[in-house]
Structure 1
């Protein structure tokens, strides 16, 4: 892993990830780009995650009634996981053309490919109507969503970091990450509103469709908003210099940048544990295995997500000032400890549900640091492909399998979600220590050379 971190520093030394004038402050144009990118990402991410908030209802409607509840939940999370498993293919294809044809074009395409299947999901007939074709169609729509989101997050991170000054890279990615988390917040708010406005019978009958239909509409709103964004200065300059990659980008990263791939996949594993387990799965786990009321868990989830957004921005700002490694170390340790305390407490009592979950959410803000580390691991000509390949393959493996593994293991080991998060956060802390060590070494070499 240290050799991968060395690669990170070598790429950073010749950094071309920000705009010209790398030491200038953020200006109004930068803020507008960050704002529009974050807003668009929030609306697209809402489309992708709304499924998990209605996993229990969807499981009842799209699988046979006689199926045991735990098995139905596992199968439903399996369809949820299919979206993650489809991410690498969609991400690699869009990243390939993003490195050759431009970042903005793929930025527009990803949202269109997300909006259509989300609308269809809200209109699908259930198992009672068409039998086994219901879960098959649901699975197909989820795969299309996964292909779309595979190009969204990496493309967005590359887009914003190539617009802003290099010394604001972490804040730029943390702002966008906060926007993506805002999409989860929107999903949680909509789920809470549906739960408050309708009784269980009405939700099961038809109200569960409303969040998906809303998501499809919001997707087309996002498509309109992104018309106002411009191609990145870094890509434009590469076009003018005719320095775009002449080889297949994915071939180059596998041949020449495996150390960067290792680093990006390592920090992505940390991101998946933070988001999938502590934010997306925890409300359902608390409902099904701790017996906590659905409305209460969703309300607590909203508080946690707001704190994630705050944690992202704080972590990003501090990382630009004190270094990615130190902040990754602090946030990883904080998340591992806080989630262990929180999940253990919820097995006994709901006292402290809101404040403890809020602390967990703040440390999930490490998701703002991950892209700042990963985006620096690749040169500009293949950056989109390198980040997309590493991020999506890691997310497919860890994010896709985690829901099923955790759901199965919690039956025999109630603390398995917290144990999993603690193990991955330990790895995150070690990566943070490695980054600190290598940064210190490079600063010392630079000082000697000066």
Structure 2
């Protein structure tokens, strides 16, 4: 018997019992959509974990700190450490943290206290994935530029005054590409705003205040740079030298000495891809430093998420098992109702394999059709969850430590796997009834009323 004839006979048989066929297919639809939606919640949780961490920090960045607290003989963070770590496999660039504290001055306004000023090159900013909301990042040709954090703009008051936190001033609005600020590393007394004197009471001349143009503003979501400013490396090094010379004159060389001999507070290691992050981190730890990265937290989150996915997938699989029982029951009922038809087919010479295939095709059609409708229904429900249910589902994800834009994510592989699984379940469910149909006696079947 041709396969096309088998399919047509199976479809006609299912169509004669529309209600029962519909209810059986509905069971498969519910089972397939349940398992898809349950797994999609776990996949969305994974994606939201990753999105949340990537929003805080690049997933390919490893933070390196000195390990002198645990081991006084541990290697220091200096230029030699930068050179050593740069040679590790998988490392793209090592960026030392260069920072100092200084006032920002804008006309008669200034920051109420010294803020963090960091020095970076254009290549280092590109490697770290820096972006600005207004203006642009400075290039190697920009020698006197500055990038400002959003929250930093709220700290400007008239020089010598302090911020009234009960009634804070509005953020200073800078014209990107036009406004010029001054960098002041001087120390001042709180009550008179006069430069501090050294231990003998002698006035120490405040270094010259270099001028920089505001070239860009970091966005409000950039928490790392919200309260700091970034300047080109060349002007930073000059400002650092001025500050060290000034502090030596003000406090004395002995009091200004770095006690732990670490040249840098920490290093940021840019790794070539996410798959290499953990291996690079382990290599840095083995070298005697203390390293951490978002990927290790992401891996821990994934372990917890995988456990939740297994639980949710198990719940959905139960519905599909129930649907498989429904398919088996439907096919068994079909055999009892068509016993005489089966007997006639055997008498006129139909092959046992053709009878078996006919019932298997019916079960397969039920599974495939139910799986297809289940996939489409799942996409519809997923869209509704993402569109209308973020508030309710968002609270659940917040309790699990996640946050993101999607409640449910159905990747193509999941839809395809669910469709294939539903079809196979239908085929398996129809195997026992098909075997039973093959085993019926032709004469007994014909006599059945």
Length-normalised TM-score, structure 1:
0.27
Query: Which structure is higher in strand share?
Result: 2
Which has the larger Rg? 2
Q: Between Structure 1 and Structure 2, which shows a larger proportion of helix residues?
A: 1
TM-score (norm 2): 0.27
